[in-house]
Amino acid sequence: MDTTGMCLELYYQLKSKATIVVWLIDEETRRHVAALTDHDNGNYWDRMFVKLTAGIHRIRIDGRRSPNYCGMSIDDVVVQPCHRFG
């Protein structure tokens, strides 16, 4: 998709050092980290908001759980023009 002027928003919960990474993959299949979070926020929902790099990209969201406890949730993923977020 053309990510020029676009933003990504999602809500997440992480427990015990789980990690969420948002990747942008360009036409030459090079990967760029657009956002990363790895703090333990317990039972609370946090918002991730990212202004995406201009160009043609695929967006990939990876979740990596902690080896000792699995606790990760992602919800309400939206990609739209940044000005529409207000």
pLDDT, one tens digit per residue, over 1-17 is: 999 999 999 999 887 77
Q: Which pLDDT belongs to residue 67?
A: 74
Q: Which pLDDT belongs to residue 84?
A: 94
What's the rounded Cα separation, in Å, for the pair 55 and 27?
9
Report the CATH fold assignment for 6-79: Jelly Rolls (2.60.120)
* pLDDT tens digits for range 28-75: 999 999 998 887 767 789 999 999 999 999 999 998 877 776 678 899
Average pLDDT, stretch 65-86?
Answer: 86
Domain chopping of the chain, boundaries: 6-79
Nearest 5°: CA angle at 21, between 51 and 30?
75
Burial of 25 (C-beta count, 10 Å sphere; 0-12/13-18/19+): middle
What pTM did the predictor assign? 0.86
CB-based contact 32:4 (threshold 8 Å): no
Beta bridge partners of 74: 12
